[in-house]
Amino acid sequence: MNALLVALLWAAPAAAQMELGTSVAPDFFAERKAAAVGRSTAAPLALALSLSFDAATWARIGVSTSAPAADLANYVSHGCYKLELIELISIAASAGKPLALLAARREKRESLRKIAQSYSLDYDALLEVALQDERLVTLRLEGLGRVAPLGPSGGKP
C-alpha cells in the first residue's frame, strides 16, 4: 500500500510537467508589454520631429517625405535621443548627406562634433540651432500629449 501511495505522489508532479505542444515562458507577457511601451514612446517623438522640419529637408537627407515619422521612429527605437537626432538632422541637411550615413557613423561612437567638422561645419553654431529646434520639438511633443483620439463617445466625457 505504501508503495502505491509513493508511486501516485511521484506520478502527479510528472503529469503536471507534461507539455501540450505550446510552451510559454514566464516573462512572455512582460516582453510584449515592454515592446509596446517602447513603441508608444518612440512614435510621439518621431511624429513631433517629423512635424518640425519641412519636406525639402527630409528629401535632402534621404528620409521618406511621405512618412518621415516612420523612418524617424526607427532611429528613436534604436537609441537616438531627441537632441542627438536633431543635431544629426541639422548636420545631414547642412552637409547634404543622408541621415542614415551620419547615424551609422554615430553608432560607431564618433562624436557629433567630429562628424560636423568632417564636413567643414561649425558644430557650435549647429548646436545652437539644434537647441532652438529642440524647444520647438518639445512644444510639439507636449501638444501631441494633449491630443486624444476620439473614442466611441465622439470625444464627449
Per residue in 27-81, pLDDT (tens digit) is 445 544 444 444 456 788 999 999 999 999 999 999 998 889 999 999 998 889 9
Residue pointed to by grid coordinates 518612440:
42
> What does the block give as the cell for 79?
537609441
If you search the block for the grid coordinates 523612418, which residue do you land on?
71
**Grid cell locating 57:** 529637408
On whether the CB atoms of residues 47 and 70 are closer than 8 A, the answer is no
pLDDT tens digits, 67-100: 899 999 999 988 899 999 999 999 999 999 999 9
Nearest to 87 by CA among 120, 60, 121, 54: 121
pLDDT at 111 over 70: yes
Mind spelling out the 3-state secondary structure of 81-139?
CHHHHHHHHHHHHHHCCCHHHHHHHHHCCCCHHHHHHHCCCCHHHHHHHHHHHHHHHHH
CA 84 from chain centre, in angstroms, equals 13
Task: Please tell me the predicted confidence (pLDDT) of residue 120.
Answer: 97
The reported pTM is 0.67
pLDDT tens digits along 126-149: 999 999 999 999 998 888 776 655
Among 89, 120, 94, smallest CA distance to 106 is for 89
Check residue 13 and give its pLDDT.
53
